[in-house]
Amino acid sequence: MAKPTILTVDDDREVLQAIARDLRKQYGDRFRIIRVDSGASAIETLKELKVRNETVALLLTDQRMPDMNGVEFIEQAAPMFPKAKRVLLTAYADTDAAIKAINTARLDYYLLKPWDPPEEKLYPVLDDLLDDWLAVYHPAFEGIRVIGDRWSPCSHNVKDFLARNQIPYHWMDVENEPEATKLLDYVANGSKLSLPLVLFPNGDRLEQPTNLEVGEKIGLQTQAEKPFYDLVIVGGGPAGLAAAVYGASEGLSTVMIERSAPGGQAGSSSRIENYLGFPVGLSGDDLARRGVTQAKRFGVEILTPQEVVGVEIKDPYRVVKLKDGSEINCHALLLSTGVYWRRLNLPGCDRLTGRGIYYGAAKTEALSCQGEHIYLVGGANSAGQAAMYFSKYAAKVSMLVRGESLVRSMSQYLIDQIDSTNNIEVLAHTEVAEIHGENSLTGLTLFHNDTGEKEQVETKSLFIFIGAKPETEWLEGVVARDERGFIYAGADLKKSEDVKGNRDLLSYGQLNRDPFLLETSVPGIFVAGDVRHNSVKRVASGVGEGSIAIMFVHRYLAEVGA
């Protein structure tokens, strides 16, 4: 933790050196002593400290300085650090100015030069002032700060990326927090800034950054250390993490590639209560954190944010092509990319995504929803978990369910919790018919499919949990997929011949065997988790498939002599 700062200002270099020496002697073990030789330079120093989110405990300035005297400096510095103690060093002839400054600049004390000996004329006064300051001092947040507005999609992306990668940050809304606007002024210093602005503890900043830029800045690994691995895993959800742990623990050199954050869709769940071994439940964040820690312990490399855009077969190798143009070679490849929420196909929906319309739990928006009436679309477990989470913040949560109830799609324990939560309502036979709002969501038109009636409601937030869509277009022409893009494996490959284009992708004749249980149409390429055709969409199932896949990876490697 950075030490609080004592800033001393004097245009006389010898005096400045002497006061800094005495301050370091008495307070250097607890405070950072900064000396500056002019008021203007001191103001610039304070701006830099503000941008770095450092704390100033004491301003100690000479009165007689050219261009900007001590009182003028304190008047300009006080709004930046209003809780800092203010002391004026002055000659006897300037005591009237110092006394006036007690009222005009809220001066805490003035000291006469010279202050020899400091044990009698300097330290007792400063000790009292610093003790008072320390009594009410609360250390500033030392992590990343994100300055933006609630209705910015880029702001939402940055917050979501940091949260899902479990990087602490402080959100500052320019619309509601005057401190955010002041800080922007200090950073901009007259220039124009593009929001969101991400400020790092070392003073660096990024304007409207991509996830990759933020990831590189915070030290996430985005490049593989080696050109070749026994096993490459694409996707860092429960299936991918389980495979990484089992593969690396059994001696396979393993790299896992995740395009957003480890944990996948499960990682955004606010509470998972039916996972074996956790009787009180655990959050998706917690599950992801444990999985990542365990995988790294066994030496797994985790590349994030990094995206795979293609695969090339060069027997006996599989070449994984990354979005940045680099390539990774491997013997075996596991596809565990999971699924993504299906988009709501309504006019204006894309425009307002990130501006009041969100896909998935979007827990980063919960605090912004305090006291509001929000709507959720979906009736499966993810929607139920989100409803329970948002009910702690929103005044009311309305769940829109196209069917007649939640019974068919949601676990009973969640249904019971929702029924017993006063500020959650379930609107059956209800769909979103229209989206309203220009720069942000302002309302919805609901369609009641049992009566044919429409209803218009006001809201600022809509969270969508509908469908499960695999994004496997980058695998076209490589492995056999069904009509929706899910990947065939094992015995299901027999059905894949009925889908156009798949027959040419089946290449097991050369091995004179049937495909392994989780093996795709290409020997050595495996699939696990939600992206597999006919998979069970549960966290435990994904973990199980990821661990089972490693057994077949070993069999394949033995088969090809790798």
pLDDT digits (tens, 9 = 90+) for 76-107: 999 999 999 999 988 776 777 777 777 777 88
**Quick one: average pLDDT of 194-219?**
93
What is the pLDDT confidence band of residue 58, given thresholds at 50, 70 and 90? very high
Q: What is the distance between the alpha carbons of residues 68 and 159, in angstroms, rounded to a whole number?
A: 41
pTM confidence score: 0.84
Range from 156-165, 242-251, 277-286 that averages highest in pLDDT: 242-251
Identify the pLDDT of residue 504.
67
Identify the pLDDT of residue 395.
97
pLDDT in tens, 420-436: 999 999 999 999 999 99
Q: Which of 336-340, 370-374, 505-509, 545-549 has the lowest mean pLDDT?
A: 505-509
Distance set, CA 269 to CA 166, 234, 363, 390, 544 (Å): 14, 21, 9, 12, 19
Identify the pLDDT of residue 545.
97
Q: What is the distance between the alpha carbons of residues 128 and 136, in angstroms, rounded to a whole number?
A: 13
Identify the pLDDT of residue 1.
65
The answer, yes or no, to whether residue 122 has pLDDT greater than 90, is: yes
Query: H helices then E strands: how many in the chain?
Result: 15, 24
Identify the pLDDT of residue 501.
67
The answer to whether the beta carbons of residues 82 and 108 sit under 8 Å apart is no
The answer, yes or no, to whether residue 509 has pLDDT greater than 60, is: no
The SS3 of residue 6 is strand
Q: Which of 540, 535, 505, 503 is nearest to 518 (CA)?
A: 535
The answer, yes or no, to whether residue 10 has pLDDT greater than 60, is: yes
What is the pLDDT confidence band of residue 561, given thresholds at 50, 70 and 90? confident
The answer, yes or no, to whether residue 511 has pLDDT greater than 70, is: no
The answer to whether the beta carbons of residues 20 and 100 sit under 8 Å apart is no
Residues 6+ apart with CB under 8 A from 178: none
Q: Which of 1-10, 133-142, 417-426, 541-550 has the lowest mean pLDDT?
A: 133-142
Q: What is the mean pLDDT of the chain?
A: 92
The SS3 of residue 233 is strand
Q: Which of 27-41, 151-165, 180-194, 502-516 has the lowest mean pLDDT?
A: 502-516
Residues 6+ apart with CB under 8 A from 61: 8, 9, 10, 39, 42, 70, 73, 74, 87, 88, 89
Position 427, amino acid: L
**Quick one: average pLDDT of 191-211?**
93
* pLDDT > 90 fraction of the chain, expressed in percent and rounded: 73
DSSP 205: E
**Quick one: average pLDDT of 160-169?**
92
The answer, yes or no, to whether residue 276 has pLDDT greater than 90, is: no
**Quick one: average pLDDT of 68-74?**
92
**Quick one: average pLDDT of 173-188?**
90
**Quick one: average pLDDT of 388-414?**
94
Identify the pLDDT of residue 93.
63
Question: Which of 420 and 186 is assigned the larger pLDDT?
Answer: 420
Indicate the angle between helix axes 153-164 and 284-297, nearest 10 degrees. Answer: 50
Domains and CATH numbers, the chain: 5-135 (3.40.50.2300), 144-217 (3.40.30.10), 228-340+469-559 (3.50.50.60), 357-464 (3.50.50.60)
Instruction: Mark 317-334 as b/e (b = at least 16 C-beta within 10 Å).
Output: bbebebeeeeebbbbbbb
What is the pLDDT confidence band of residue 56, given thresholds at 50, 70 and 90? very high
Q: What are phi and psi of 146, to 5 degrees?
A: -120, 120
DSSP 497: T
Alpha helices in 422-538 (DSSP H): 493-496
